[in-house]
Structure 1
């Protein structure tokens, strides 16, 4: 355990102007606060904040960060308060400590909620001061180094998984490669010890077989560069076991097929010498195709800059070479922390003045935080946002946009700006109009086509992969769904009042709010529209003693094909203007169209599903009359919105018959959305075709046109 004077000396070694008094007071305060507390290892608890502070001194962080490290657990695990810390150490330290402190004293519903809320608070705190995250990462690193002392296997696994999913990607986004590698490897040792041991044994065998091969390769690379007139610092580094395992998994290859187990780093004076070194090496050694990457001209989002190349190098070994300047190397190892380092003269370079690409991801996390409905959803979207495998695409102006692998033009649109994403209607990829669900690849140039009339589609959520896109789409769906449920619930209650012969008024509903635990009438509308409560239950509460069907409303279904007694249209709930897929769903069994006689079935949590009055599925709801709802199309319900009608076609097995069928449908203004062959023989094919039409008359016209074709044997509207 590092002693008090040693810690102060370490900080003074790189920062002669460090606040010694604050460091000494923090050391003593933390030691007294933690008192006789012990860790799982049996060591005094105070050893933990001390080790965290030691990790930060190796990054050469300012004295405020070191003081925060010493105090970071005092508020959470001792009787110390933030007010005490503010009085003794000032507002800046209190703010930093508060950012790192977990919300352990807040009662939350579950461990998942607690974890998500802690992470949400961390993101908010680090958005104001990135040092919060630096202290948190050092805290997590020491906890992982001592993870094996925890007895519970479930707790060890949970902590390791959390480290792999959240903290290692955060370190990577911060550009802190060294810390990321160590966190991943420690988590890997807990989550998959057999795989790690296997890779470690193979690496040990290679080292024994190769002897001092690394040294010989470095010597030859130095000679090669010297002959080209370049002096450079060269180091060899072995890939971490987790990096090797992940690459084997991702590329589905064996250990023997890996070409970059050893990476050699060449540090030169300036950018010009980087490209000069690359030219010397490529002229001397054969380059491995597809292994060259230029992160100097297009840096990674975390500000990482370097040239990567693979060559058949000295001793005919396939090796990876990374070429960078010394400044780039420092940023590559320590990331954002490198900007907090002190110059030789002791002047500071605070990170808050180094705004750039590496902070874009943090702003995007804050955007997700604003759109997410709760901590768990925020955590889910954040995991997506920090997904490590990335593709780099360009805007038409040449700006670089980094996205998770598998991203689509919709993800790209939201990465450009949330408004661009919300109004996206189409995309050009490398000059060609492509579907919005197309997968983007490295180097694609993407142009987004927008329209003010467009809104996010619920279908987008099925194929977007970035957290920002998903958070925006879900928020839109939530607000739209509530608006739809409100409109539907209001219409259902108005109908229920008319059935009972009462005049509808919101004031009458106030008496029902308490029973249904609603804060407002709008909340009551929403739960009725969503199907959580029925209009009949609300009526019974507002008018106690009323009987179902008191005014002659025959609500009990008499069987699907015999139908129900249709009420007058003023008692039917209109469904126009309700977006399908939100409060209203059109049944896939009967595909109702404007013009059909329809009935609604209220489904808890989904709103209303619309069926045709003769749908066979209605038989299963015969015993639940309270779930039946009279609904009606309004006069203009066909409109311009497409509805899907399904037809069953028997077609002759002759050349040109399928072309004839699609031509007839196209000329009649229909659009085929799906086609499935259900039966085939030598003479005939049977198929089910989904056609987008405006209403029942439109579908009937298409069926008539198809029946007139000599190649089409029969056409019927499909049921079920």
Structure 2
């Protein structure tokens, strides 16, 4: 064996293992080291100076901090042998047993030869293999996290900046969330800070200097706070370890970025950790802290009674400490403290805990189930990664059924996500929910520890609009699966309604009037979607194959006059009609304030004799997609009947033409009387008749133009049968009045011309009504 004193001391490593594993087989471990050294003989790390064997040894040292067992440590020594040397899994199995072979195989990447033309797919498939092995034995992922941590610590030895960036990004998106899921905070924090250093070097340096001076300033206040608490604990006979809690750079950076603040706006607060002997003492200590300092009750969280998904337990509180400085306090037992740092790893390697307990945990674990479900979908590498990021690796919350059953969901999940997590049939028919006793729409966002009672109806089925407020891919896939099962006619009808609604929101008029050739060309070019007809587009929207906002954006590009306008935001005026009830205005305002960049007006009123309330608001939003979200959420508010966009420009045009038409109709008998008694009628009968024809034609044209405006820009009126009945009646009334005027004023008009005009008018009305009937069926 070569001399590695410069890099590590194997005897010292074995001694540190024996401190927590007295029966550790050092000879077996030494044999594994010899095998790994022989296999990696001549190989060097990226710096060209360090023998490769130092990497598996460093991985072992990281796992020792987790108190890893013998098989795990041996597997860590051998984890790169099958991938980087001629030796295979069979040799490892023959020498070190089936368990070690399984663990090593789980970490070994798939053949680079097989995937030589598609390296991204190789990475995804290797990750899939790793996770599926981990679903059977968690030790696979523990080794991989330790492996990734050491690789990140030596990332500076990789020459190519783009490769360093790719590895850091992959670590931040995949391995940091996995460490968080397992509750291994120490590894998670180290990985985050290393990724931060490589992905945002300038911000990293700025934060490091700022935090250094920040913690120095807080030392005096922290010491005063801990002294006051120690005094209270001493009187109560509580033996506690009190220390300042270290906040990691990336966690602080992420919080400041999310709040849109600069590095200079770091919260002036102290973080304290209190460790006691048992759970009752945790609550006793909490009482003393609250007795000494005024608590901020909104910040209190009991994770002992309601542990996080990764098993984390602790009491969290915030108090106004020394000089009123906000002080965050975490209180937990010694065991909870170890588990807070090392999560499931500490529990897994706990000698007092039987291994079959963890086998049962893995079978029941929601995240393990989700990984297995994603694998069963067989949806390809890209979808596997998308599903993994959305349904497994995001921050998690626990939401409860009325019977107290916890449902694990990603942070930001809605009522629809919750419904589908319980059962597909419940998801398909959910109408609304009672969240903590309060009625909420299906778009409502859920929070940790919410109690949700679902209300369903067989009259309700999934809508494409649900996708805008679903978070989990499980829910999205179930909605899309339902939409695909419906008949072609239903898909076309649904797609038409969805697109028309978005056209109304965008102020684009009727979707049938769009230049389909141009639209189809743009969708083909930008989204690789090709359609033979407008119905084909409707069908694709109806089954969720194309996002309706992509269609609207494609139409909008034809109308946008300048790119500058795109960045100025969008001024929108809307009107809402709802059955009046208590707190209705607050519910409406909450949604507007959630999305509006600025608000110019917000008015609400209700007539004494009317059960309806009316609201109008003019505000600034980022884009049309945001307006669509506002409409979707407004429609979910209890008792809201209608919401539609108002165009001041169109309203102005409508009233101008309405005044012109009304004036013409009111004053035309006087004009007829004047012209019919003059010599002009006798001397120029043809011109006189033509002027009358033109006058009535202009009146009808004004009427038709107003009707067109109604149809295009007033969706609430457009679909009212009474409106259509009125539209049909107006020409009949006009013809009747004209007949009376012909007799009274003795007008010598051509009946053929009049009949032609009437025929054209009613053909126009007929075709418009037929299109209207089609649109509502």
Same fold (TM over 0.5): yes
Is 2:49 the partner of 1:78?
Answer: no
Is 2:120 the partner of 1:120?
Answer: no
**Cα distance per residue 1:35-77 (max 9 Å; x no partner):** 1111112211111111111111111111111111111111111
**Cα distance per residue 1:422-454 (max 9 Å; x no partner):** 554543434555432233345543222346787
223-232 or 27-36, which moves further after superposition?
Answer: 223-232
Q: Are the structure 2 counterparts of residues 91 and 610 from structure 1 closer, same or farther at C-alpha, using a change threshold of 3 Å?
A: same
Distance in 1 of aligned mates of 2:463 and 2:533? 19
Partner of 1:310: 318
The answer on whether the counterparts of 2:269 and 2:326 sit within 8 Å (CA) in structure 1 is: no
Distance in 2 of aligned mates of 1:660 and 1:432? 23
Distance in 2 of aligned mates of 1:582 and 1:112? 35
Partner of 2:544: none
**Could you tell me how far 1:115 is from its partner in structure 2?**
2.2
Is 2:331 the partner of 1:323?
Answer: yes
Q: Are the structure 2 counterparts of residues 131 and 583 from structure 1 closer, same or farther at C-alpha, using a change threshold of 3 Å?
A: farther
SS of 2:275 mapped into structure 1:
strand
The answer on whether the counterparts of 1:371 and 1:472 sit within 8 Å (CA) in structure 2 is: no
Is 2:675 the partner of 1:704?
Answer: no
Partner of 1:147: 155
Q: Are the structure 2 counterparts of residues 347 and 176 from structure 1 closer, same or farther at C-alpha, using a change threshold of 3 Å?
A: closer
Partner of 1:37: 43
**Could you tell me how far 1:6 is from its partner in structure 2?**
3.0
Is 2:54 the partner of 1:47?
Answer: yes
One of 267, 276, 298 as aligned partner of 2:306: 298
- Number of paired residues? 563
For the pair shown, which has the larger CA radius of gyration, 1 or 2?
2
**Could you tell me how far 1:163 is from its partner in structure 2?**
0.9
Is 2:158 the partner of 1:187?
Answer: no
Distance in 2 of aligned mates of 1:438 and 1:463? 8
Q: Are the structure 2 counterparts of residues 298 and 340 from structure 1 closer, same or farther at C-alpha, using a change threshold of 3 Å?
A: closer
The answer on whether the counterparts of 1:295 and 1:306 sit within 8 Å (CA) in structure 2 is: yes
SS of 2:211 mapped into structure 1:
helix
Is 2:374 the partner of 1:368?
Answer: yes
Q: Are the structure 2 counterparts of residues 316 and 660 from structure 1 closer, same or farther at C-alpha, using a change threshold of 3 Å?
A: closer
SS of 2:379 mapped into structure 1:
coil
* 1:486-635 equivalent positions in 2, closer than 5 A: 576=489, 605=529, 609-610=533-534
Partner of 1:6: 12
One of 97, 104, 117 as aligned partner of 2:104: 97
Distance in 2 of aligned mates of 1:339 and 1:467? 30
One of 63, 66, 70 as aligned partner of 2:70: 63
TM-score relative to the length of structure 1: 0.69
The answer on whether the counterparts of 1:199 and 1:245 sit within 8 Å (CA) in structure 2 is: yes
Partner of 2:253: 245
Partner of 2:415: 409
The answer on whether the counterparts of 1:267 and 1:325 sit within 8 Å (CA) in structure 2 is: yes
SS of 2:453 mapped into structure 1:
strand
**Could you tell me how far 1:120 is from its partner in structure 2?**
1.4
The answer on whether the counterparts of 1:585 and 1:609 sit within 8 Å (CA) in structure 2 is: no
Partner of 1:641: none
**Cα distance per residue 1:353-394 (max 9 Å; x no partner):** 562899322222322332351121111121122454555433
Distance in 2 of aligned mates of 1:56 and 1:97? 15
Distance in 2 of aligned mates of 1:286 and 1:585? 53
Partner of 1:552: none
Distance in 1 of aligned mates of 2:35 and 2:313? 42
**Could you tell me how far 1:157 is from its partner in structure 2?**
0.6
Partner of 1:204: 212
SS of 1:680 mapped into structure 2:
helix
425-434 or 457-466, which moves further after superposition?
Answer: 425-434
Distance in 2 of aligned mates of 1:155 and 1:279? 52
Partner of 2:635: none
SS of 1:337 mapped into structure 2:
helix
**Could you tell me how far 1:100 is from its partner in structure 2?**
1.0
**Cα distance per residue 1:598-652 (max 9 Å; x no partner):** xx9998856654459xxxxxxxxxxxxxxxxxxxxxxxxxxxxxxxxxxxxxxxx
SS of 1:88 mapped into structure 2:
helix
Q: Are the structure 2 counterparts of residues 92 and 453 from structure 1 closer, same or farther at C-alpha, using a change threshold of 3 Å?
A: farther
Partner of 1:336: 344
Is 2:445 the partner of 1:445?
Answer: no
One of 34, 43, 61 as aligned partner of 1:28: 34
230-239 or 181-190, which moves further after superposition?
Answer: 230-239
The answer on whether the counterparts of 1:53 and 1:70 sit within 8 Å (CA) in structure 2 is: yes
* 1:270-285 equivalent positions in 2, closer than 5 A: 270-285=278-293
Q: Are the structure 2 counterparts of residues 108 and 301 from structure 1 closer, same or farther at C-alpha, using a change threshold of 3 Å?
A: farther
* 1:370-385 equivalent positions in 2, closer than 5 A: 370-371=376-377, 373-385=379-391
One of 680, 692, 708 as aligned partner of 2:651: 680
One of 284, 287, 295 as aligned partner of 1:287: 295
Q: Are the structure 2 counterparts of residues 177 and 88 from structure 1 closer, same or farther at C-alpha, using a change threshold of 3 Å?
A: same
Q: Are the structure 2 counterparts of residues 431 and 290 from structure 1 closer, same or farther at C-alpha, using a change threshold of 3 Å?
A: closer
Partner of 1:461: 467
The answer on whether the counterparts of 1:426 and 1:436 sit within 8 Å (CA) in structure 2 is: yes
SS of 1:18 mapped into structure 2:
coil
Q: Are the structure 2 counterparts of residues 592 and 429 from structure 1 closer, same or farther at C-alpha, using a change threshold of 3 Å?
A: farther
* 1:136-175 equivalent positions in 2, closer than 5 A: 136-175=144-183
The answer on whether the counterparts of 1:99 and 1:121 sit within 8 Å (CA) in structure 2 is: yes
Distance in 2 of aligned mates of 1:218 and 1:586? 62
Partner of 1:553: none
Distance in 2 of aligned mates of 1:363 and 1:420? 20
Q: Are the structure 2 counterparts of residues 403 and 690 from structure 1 closer, same or farther at C-alpha, using a change threshold of 3 Å?
A: same
SS of 1:302 mapped into structure 2:
coil
Q: Are the structure 2 counterparts of residues 309 and 661 from structure 1 closer, same or farther at C-alpha, using a change threshold of 3 Å?
A: closer
Distance in 2 of aligned mates of 1:204 and 1:89? 47
Partner of 1:178: 186
* 1:217-228 equivalent positions in 2, closer than 5 A: 217-228=225-236
Distance in 1 of aligned mates of 2:408 and 2:127? 23
Q: Are the structure 2 counterparts of residues 224 and 196 from structure 1 closer, same or farther at C-alpha, using a change threshold of 3 Å?
A: farther
**Could you tell me how far 1:475 is from its partner in structure 2?**
5.4
The answer on whether the counterparts of 1:302 and 1:358 sit within 8 Å (CA) in structure 2 is: no
Is 2:421 the partner of 1:400?
Answer: no
Q: Are the structure 2 counterparts of residues 127 and 607 from structure 1 closer, same or farther at C-alpha, using a change threshold of 3 Å?
A: farther
Distance in 1 of aligned mates of 2:79 and 2:305? 40
The answer on whether the counterparts of 1:310 and 1:318 sit within 8 Å (CA) in structure 2 is: yes
More helix, by proportion: 2
SS of 2:650 mapped into structure 1:
strand
Distance in 1 of aligned mates of 2:495 and 2:111? 38
SS of 1:238 mapped into structure 2:
coil
**Could you tell me how far 1:690 is from its partner in structure 2?**
3.7
**Could you tell me how far 1:233 is from its partner in structure 2?**
1.2
